[in-house]
Amino acid sequence: MSVPAPRSSIMSLKPYVPGHSGADHNAKLIYLCSNENPLGASPRAREAIIEFAGRLASYPDGGATALREAIARKFGLDTNCIAVGNGSDELLEMLAAAYIGDGDEGLYTQYGFLVYPIAITAAGGVAVCAPEKDLRVDVDAVLARVSEKTKLVYITNPGNPTGSYIPFEEVKRLHAGLPAHVLLVLDAAYAEYVNRNDYAAGIELVASAENVVMTRTFSKVYGLAGLRVGWMFGPREVVDVINRIRGPFNVNAGAQAAAVAALADDAFVARSVEVNTAGLAYLTAELEALGLTVSPSVTNFILIHFPDQDGLRAAEAERYLRSHGLLLRGVAAYGLPGALRLTIGTEDANRKVVDVLKQFLSGHRTS
């Protein structure tokens, strides 16, 4: 007797395990594990959702026209070059599904998003990983792994969970080194938080090339992770391809309405970035003062390294923090067992993290 069998490579995948999130609704816990906006979402987005409650029986606009136009206006782009997705995850997956065939290779980097190898493998491709150098994308290592079979390259910039970035000059050098038929996907989920003159999310490169797309999300600085909305800017041809394979109503009506409202609330975004910038500086300085190593970050999270690289110390710290109501993200799945990822929180939450880690370190002194 035979049973339905998937493509064999799919059984080699491990399901993506999300961190805990505020959706758990445990008021006793502070969720600093999923890079969610600690300020919540714009009140305008909330109003849009309340209004949407009166239209639940109607299908969404399948073309997401109002949302794509709002994005185009905000960023000065052509509406026809924008596609939206059920989170940027969906766009990242659809790109692999469209451009990778059986036996083709998709490239990603050592600490790149775990979604990439899943998307490449699910599409029937072979996921090829390029090592990073000092927790940063290494352009030469990526270029060295391009083969005749390579169809797509995913770069997270800034990186997660590293918090690092590569300057736009490096992104351009990477692009210049790729054959014209390879699609370069720039995942810029944290672009809004970056405050560096030499960083660019990639809009300029997309506009001047035929093989580059940039993905963005409403899940981070806009605080709409629960609604699942992401967008992509790419050549018309690539957007056309996505339109052929996506579900006809892939972004729901409430998500579209809330995203339009969130885009209009510049003050909320500005305040979110401000709180993050202050928290990032505070936490980096305070945790270093405690003797911990913190990777420099341009995002809304930091990677904290504990001295014992086997991860015992990090795991112990994670448990200790949890017992004090603070949830951080273990990053062993990214090959970093000795580190924890901490999302920048509110001022109160950040102070609590420092206090609890101070207790942890003083109570656990090995000397």
Ligand X SMILES: *Cc1c(COP(=O)(O)O)cnc(C)c1O
Residue among 64, 63, 87 at smallest CA distance from 260: 64
- Report how far residue 324's alpha carbon sits from residue 318's, in angstroms, rounded to the nearest whole number: 10
* Binding of residue 250 to ligand X (CB under 6 A): no
Please say which residue, 24 or 102, places its beta carbon nearer to ligand X.
Answer: 24
Residue 123 near residue 151, CB atoms below 8 Å: no
* Binding of residue 203 to ligand X (CB under 6 A): no
For tokens 């758990």, the residue is 24
* Binding of residue 338 to ligand X (CB under 6 A): no
Please say which residue, 131 or 179, places its beta carbon nearer to ligand X.
Answer: 131
Closest chain position to ligand X (CB): 87
Per the DSSP assignment, residues forming a β-bridge with 125 are none
DSSP, res 102: T
In whole angstroms, the minimum distance from the beta carbon of 217 to ligand X comes to: 3
Residue among 294, 302, 291, 290 at smallest CA distance from 345: 302
In whole angstroms, the minimum distance from the beta carbon of 187 to ligand X comes to: 5
What letters, b where the CB count within 10 A reaches 16 and e where it falls short, cover 35-64?
bbbbeebbebbeebbeebeeeeeeebeeeb
Query: Which of 42, 211, 219, 276 is the binder for ligand X (CB under 6 A)?
Result: 219
Per the DSSP assignment, residues forming a β-bridge with 156 are 187
- Report how far residue 80's alpha carbon sits from residue 72's, in angstroms, rounded to the nearest whole number: 9
Please say which residue, 213 or 361, places its beta carbon nearer to ligand X.
Answer: 213
| Only segment of 4-12, 82-90, 101-109, 177-185 that touches ligand X (CB under 6 A) | 82-90
| Only segment of 216-224, 307-315, 329-337, 339-347 that touches ligand X (CB under 6 A) | 216-224
- Report how far residue 51's alpha carbon sits from residue 151's, in angstroms, rounded to the nearest whole number: 43
Query: Which of 106, 230, 311, 330 is the binder for ligand X (CB under 6 A)?
Result: 230
| Only segment of 84-92, 145-153, 290-298, 324-332 that touches ligand X (CB under 6 A) | 84-92
Per the DSSP assignment, residues forming a β-bridge with 294 are 304
In whole angstroms, the minimum distance from the beta carbon of 115 to ligand X comes to: 7
Binders of ligand X among residues 130 to 169 (CB under 6 A) are: 156, 160
**In degrees rounded to 5, what are phi and psi of residue 167?**
-65, 155
* Binding of residue 217 to ligand X (CB under 6 A): yes
Sketch the per residue contact string, 183 through 202, with ligand X: x for CB under 6 A, - otherwise. ----x-x-------------
Please say which residue, 100 or 229, places its beta carbon nearer to ligand X.
Answer: 229
- Residue 327 vs residues 187, 188, 364: alpha-carbon distances, Å: 26, 25, 19
| Only segment of 45-53, 218-226, 318-326, 337-345 that touches ligand X (CB under 6 A) | 218-226
Task: Report residue 1 as tokens.
Answer: 């007797």
* Binding of residue 93 to ligand X (CB under 6 A): no
- Report how far residue 302's alpha carbon sits from residue 169's, in angstroms, rounded to the nearest whole number: 24
In whole angstroms, the minimum distance from the beta carbon of 30 to ligand X comes to: 19
Per the DSSP assignment, residues forming a β-bridge with 187 are 156, 215
Query: Which of 22, 60, 68, 88 is the binder for ligand X (CB under 6 A)?
Result: 88
**How many other C-beta atoms can be found within 10 angstroms of the C-beta atom of residue 122?**
18
Q: Which residues bind ligand X (CB under 6 A)?
A: 35, 87-89, 113, 156, 160, 187, 189, 217, 219-220, 225, 230
